[in-house]
Amino acid sequence: MVSKRIRKINKLLTRLLTVAVAAALCLTGIVASALFIVTDTVSDPSDGRVFTILSAVQEQNFSLIDSGKAVAMANYFMLDSRFAAVRHGAFPYSNYGGWADTVTDGVYSVSGVQGAGCFAYAKFVSGVVYGTFGEALYDASVNGGRHSGAALRGFIARECQAGEHIRISGKHSVTFLAADAEGFYFMEYLDAGYIRLGYSTYENFADYAASYGEIFIYNADPAQNDVSAVLAEDALVSVSHDSERMVRVYDSGRITRERLEQWCAANGAEILSGKGVISLLGESGDYAVAIPLGKLYLLSAPAKVMYSVGESLDLTGIGVTAVYGGCAVALEPGEYSVAGYDANVPGIQTITVKYGDQILNFSVAVSDTGSVPTAAAGEDPLKAAVNGDVDGDGKVSAADARLLLRNSCALLKFTEEQKTAGDVDGDGRITPGDARIVLRRAAGLKKR
């Protein structure tokens, strides 16, 4: 109850402040463009949210282009264009001095824009990505003064693709990138003369728009996103796993049976039953979904791989991950068995890690002379490259995840060593799935 009152007070203060600042700026002849839409901004190219956005774009549906091009274009406008949003690139087509017909960033040029400032920028991006500015598409639940965050969320999740133009009529334009459960990322022109990458909650955007006009998009790509194929994180109630399967419990108040069935078909999972199964987990809800164990992966070898005779095996630093469908779980010590080490036998030893019916191996060396044994043909089995470390800095980070995603979309070429380190799920190729596993490990997400 208290939190609801606080939110109402904050909304009231925000609106009062909006009016006060707008009035002050109008006195100086400056338009208060988009000051209160943004909840947060991204201004560091190494920020993990850049990868999050690219990964989300990969999941959107498209009819005019493929998802690879969409990711490439999102990456370009965020980081590489002269108007790069993350780098606050200068946009010379301002709100003042008349409309622009042709807009160019030196690489791409779009004619027929007939706009200025935020409107010109949004049309330019759509023109580059889709070759069209799109037609206005309204949603009755969010226009005509009936704004709500919940309605806006459904509208954007269903209708918007990266590069499309969201418009608050008579006030401001932004370029959509990707959405999550709470809000969405977008690029926008500011009156200061630069482009920025922002994030707004649905509630904040709807509240701001309510003071001005209708919300709509210039629908450049008519495809609708298959929101049923991607389960919202806020629908997840609980997770448990063992060596055979993972059980994820979903709240049917947010997730329909049809959506779950589609997700299960795509991930080799099954709906176990209703409340009876969930009650065994001590949770409330409607659907329990079982996902079979897929593969086991060694994301990082132990820090210590060289031993003297008599030393005990030290697994500090080991990273073992089990993958259930598209869900990766970092296993805790004790959840898997380790065998094959003999402290009294000198030489190179193969250590076996077993979880369920899945097995993986790594090597250690035991020496009785203080020197490190060498393998046949001059190979060094103790050189344990960190799986997922494609930038070679010795650790797995969001920067590695971004490089993996760029490579999977043909934006970047890898060396053979990078390909080996980057294939974290062991399927012989670099895909967005590898990037997701690396990002989750970098973020320290152990259970999902």
Three-state secondary structure string covering the chain: CHHHHHHHHHHHHHHHHHHHHHHHHHHCCCCCCCCCCCCEEECCCCCHHHHHHHHHHHHCCCCCCCHHHHHHHHHHHHHHCCCCCCCCCECCCCCCCCCECCEECCCCEECCCCECHHHHHHHHHHHHHHCCCCEEEECCCCCCCCCCHHHHHHHHHHHCCCCCEEEECCCEEEEEEEECCCEEEEEEECCCCEEEEEEEEHHHHHHHHHCCCCEEEEECCCCCCCHHHCCCHHHEEEEEECCCEEEEEECCCCCCHHHHHHHHHHHCCEEEECHHHHHHCCCCCCEEEEEEEEEEEEEECCCCCEEECCCCCCCCCCEEEEEECCEEEECCCCCCEEECCCCCCCEEEEEEEEECCEEEEEEEEEECCCCCCCCHHHCCCCCCCCCCCCCCCCCCCHHHHHHHHHHHCCCCCCCHHHHHHHCCCCCCCCCHHHHHHHHHHHCCCCCC
Query: Could you tell me the pLDDT band of residue 146, with boundaries at 50, 70 and 90?
Result: low
Each domain of the chain, given as residue ranges in start order, spans 1-30, 33-225, 235-293, 295-442
Mean pLDDT (the chain, rounded): 77
Higher pLDDT, 253 or 138: 138
* Over residues 223-239, mean pLDDT: 63
Q: Which two tokens stand for residue 333?
A: 């010590």
**pLDDT at residue number 89:** 94
pTM score > 0.85 for this model? no
Integer angstrom CA distances of residue 60 from 53, 74, 183, 434 = 11, 12, 16, 18
* Over residues 242-271, mean pLDDT: 78
CA distance 65 to 63: 6
Choose the weakest-confidence range: 17-31, 149-163, 264-278, 431-445.
Answer: 17-31
Query: Could you tell me the pLDDT band of residue 10, with boundaries at 50, 70 and 90?
Result: very low
CB atoms within 10 A of CB 111: 11
The string of pLDDT tens digits covering residues 184-213 is: 999 999 988 999 999 998 888 988 887 777
Whether residue 376 has pLDDT greater than 50: no
Say if residues 294 and 360 touch (Cβ distance below 8 Å).
no
Higher pLDDT, 28 or 194: 194
**Domain 295-442 belongs to what topology?**
Immunoglobulin-like (2.60.40)
**pLDDT at residue number 195:** 96
Choose the weakest-confidence range: 255-259, 345-349, 428-432.
Answer: 255-259
Whether residue 132 has pLDDT greater than 90: yes
**pLDDT at residue number 85:** 96
Angle at CA of residue 117, ends 88 and 197, nearest 5°: 30
Query: How many residues are given for the chain?
Result: 448
Higher pLDDT, 31 or 419: 419
* Over residues 212-216, mean pLDDT: 82
**pLDDT at residue number 4:** 43
Higher pLDDT, 248 or 195: 195
Whether residue 72 has pLDDT greater than 70: yes
**pLDDT at residue number 384:** 34
**pLDDT at residue number 9:** 41
Say if residues 435 and 421 touch (Cβ distance below 8 Å).
no
Report the DSSP pairing between strands 195-201 and 40-42.
antiparallel
Query: Could you tell me the pLDDT band of residue 280, with boundaries at 50, 70 and 90?
Result: low
Beta pairing partners, 55: none
Identify which of 44-58, 266-280, 281-295 has the greatest average pLDDT.
44-58
Whether residue 122 has pLDDT greater than 90: yes
What percent of the chain is predicted at pLDDT more than 70? 76
Whether residue 277 has pLDDT greater than 60: no
**pLDDT at residue number 199:** 93
**pLDDT at residue number 261:** 80
Query: Could you tell me the pLDDT band of residue 171, with boundaries at 50, 70 and 90?
Result: confident
Whether residue 53 has pLDDT greater than 70: yes
How far from the centroid of its chain's Cα atoms is residue 32's Cα? 31
